[in-house]
Structure 1
């Protein structure tokens, strides 16, 4: 599932391509046809993201809410628009480009009040300037749940997925099963600041890189990572491989139906 930086990157691209002009909106697949008809020809005001949720705001207080889920994709292509390929849920055509949405978990037309209700269910997003990290800490500091599970709970913290979860815990030497209430305020603030910086870099470059300069392939002489996700990481999807710091084996186990990765040597109590 795309993590928060992907949705913020999409919001930035769509803001640049479509904002400030009337756009054509359609649903070649048909599942969004009635809502698309209400938006067709309307002014695209702005695009924004909150966690893993994307919002297209149109004139007349109309908002398209998109959640990509596991399989959703948005592709942007220069005009002229080609015939739709595959199951295109929504197509947005602007002045120079068109964007096709395929396979989302959610694609729905909402009122501003309904958008507020969606956002109220989400925790603070490290990539938003209006984020309130104290809201997340208030829940984490009272919880017996592991910090690994809390970081993935979108009601606690919004936008963090499996990669950022594993990597930020490693970078701060935190055992993933540490209870939230045992984390400590100082460590939480370091985790929040690090997530904000790492995810902001992900927005810029379009991939997740978490390895510090002194541990990169060009500094250590090791081979670059070969993975479809791209990016240099410490532990994510490296189970059975040597830790880049201590050389011991990275391990994995299931936590809430997701694979958790960590180094038992570097991440000790």
Structure 2
């Protein structure tokens, strides 16, 4: 019974993460789905995958309703929990639908709109399948999807190769580390935006920083303070984008996600809230890249 559920766990987590934007909440939702699966009459379940997707989606819809109120009171910009996506997994597939930019845009949607949009855009569900999951009519699902598209608007989609994006980030880091402000600014788009999520748990800018000059000075300041404190940096793929992990004394302190079109960097999203670094630290531990005795500050 448990083995059959495990066959679906990775896909369920990928769905829950996209619906909730929180790895911790996604794990809890998957566990709730397991408990319902464990207590269900198995003979009545003709298609376990579809049954579990429906149960999980409805669990997430209930969680979205309560989490929305919490996020309205959040201190500073809210960003999703970062996750590593370099490797074969349900999260690595359709990377554009797990990017921070995409997940932030989904915050504009109602729970029902978000469910329809994620099932359609990230998992290629047909409207009939979505209707069965949500117990709605196909016409209603089409309307919700159309409304979600209008609210989300046009999304930036770039096809720059991973190597090209990595080289841009390396150039960005070299300039920051060497104190080359002009070189740093040359890697930034004129309308670049930087967001920092401290959630009141870590020092962070409470408003987005806009423009190459301002973002350049902001990043240079972070780099200077980090170097003085002895931070170690490591590159990784985070939410489908080039990322930088910052460690102090072996403890993960922050995660930077760099959004680039292959020519310039147009977005920098920094997660400093230690409550949001637990899952990615677990991923690093499971890979042997971080010891159990280390981890996340304040966790």
* Structure holding more strand per residue: 1
Q: Same fold (TM over 0.5)?
A: no
Question: How does the TM-score come out when normalised to structure 2?
Answer: 0.27
Which of the two has greater helix per residue? 2
Higher relative contact order (CA 8 A, sep 6+): 2
